Amino acid sequence: MIHDEDILKRPIPIDEDQAARVRLRIRRRLPGRRLDKYLHGRMPHLSRTALQRLIRQGAVTVNGKTVKPSYEMAGGDIVEVLVPAPEPHEVIPEDIPLDILYEDDDIIAINKSAGIICHPAHHEQTGTLVNALVHYANNLSHGADPFRPGIVHRLDKNTTGVMLVAKRDEAHWRLALQFERRTLQKTYLAVVEGHLELDADLIDAPIGVHPVVREKFAALIGENKIDVGKSATTYYEVAERYRGYTLVQLRPKTGRTHQLRVHMSHLRHPIVCDTMYGGKLVSEYTLTGSGDREPLLWHQALHAWRIEFQHPITERPLEIEAPFPARFKRLVQLLRQSRALPSGNQANHAT
């Protein structure tokens, strides 16, 4: 059996003719920030384990000297890294249509459609967003995984809306830093079941793997309300109220898998058509008492509507919105027409 300690002791083969030499100057002391973690943030295409191996074998120096992965950097330090050439890999390009919302030399913003996953799990897998991106773009950032070029963050398979993609490595790590520091803001819109008691609130419920169904996640709070999952918080605000349903804005403060779906289910207001987390399918007949009985959606009524962030290179503020899918718009239109409340908050969200 090969242990992690054995892997860390093995040097990474480096062809110096093919390797890149990276020189970084630390502007100020970073208290508690280990060298290996810092480099992982700057070079997300290299795993932290690989960086630890490079540091231990002397391929990383600070002020011309070898150090340990746990070295805490000081202002003025010069870090030099001999970066091995990436292992050859290939993602199969596919001519899959993309809805481009914004593009420049550094980033792409797309309006992701339902039913497509973000990246392949192995070389042979096709039909993913990455396959489409590789066909569309001449350059994409390396990312942390050879099968995820350009991918800075993800959306669930059936969640629609705005998603950022990095073309260059510098844009990638700078965007990743904004996600890590939570300085960008994502706003989703969702139709949920029932009438939320409060117009706005912060949901603070840790999330972990479901104790029974391993494909699901759950809000995990143990006896005496002790958190047993990973910290997760979501701010919600009611946008429009209808009989039996509510349109809500959701702003996640953390980025746990299925977070918004789990949190709304935890409040006993699951997202419409999210059958995995307790939501029921709805049709025109369900909402109006007549018309088509075919479900309006076969997936959660959740749309990543807007993202506000700082451009990773120019540093200018950007706000990008994604138009709503036709079926999501139809759902909201039917609710407004047949289930509007006379005194409800009927803010217009361009749906």
Query: What one-letter code names the amino acid at 302?
Result: L
The question of whether 99 is a catalytic residue gets the answer no
Alpha helices in 123-191 (DSSP H): 129-136, 169-181
CA atoms of 317 and 302, how far apart (whole Å): 25
Do residues 252 and 186 lie in contact, with contact meaning Cβ atoms separated by under 8 Å? yes
Do residues 35 and 69 lie in contact, with contact meaning Cβ atoms separated by under 8 Å? yes
CA atoms of 188 and 156, how far apart (whole Å): 13
Q: Strands, E, within 84-232: which ranges?
A: 100-103, 107-112, 160-166, 185-193, 200-204, 207-209, 217-219
CA atoms of 276 and 328, how far apart (whole Å): 18
CA atoms of 118 and 114, how far apart (whole Å): 11
Catalytic residue among 156, 199, 227, 274: 156
Query: What one-letter code names the amino acid at 156?
Result: D
Closest to 312 (Cα-Cα) out of 77, 95, 153: 153
Query: What one-letter code names the amino acid at 258?
Result: H
Question: 221 in helix, strand or coil?
Answer: strand
Do residues 242 and 232 lie in contact, with contact meaning Cβ atoms separated by under 8 Å? no
Q: Give the phi and the psi of residue 21 in degrees, each rounded to 5.
A: -110, 120
Name the helix (H) or strand (E) containing 319. strand 317-321
| Catalytically annotated residues | 156
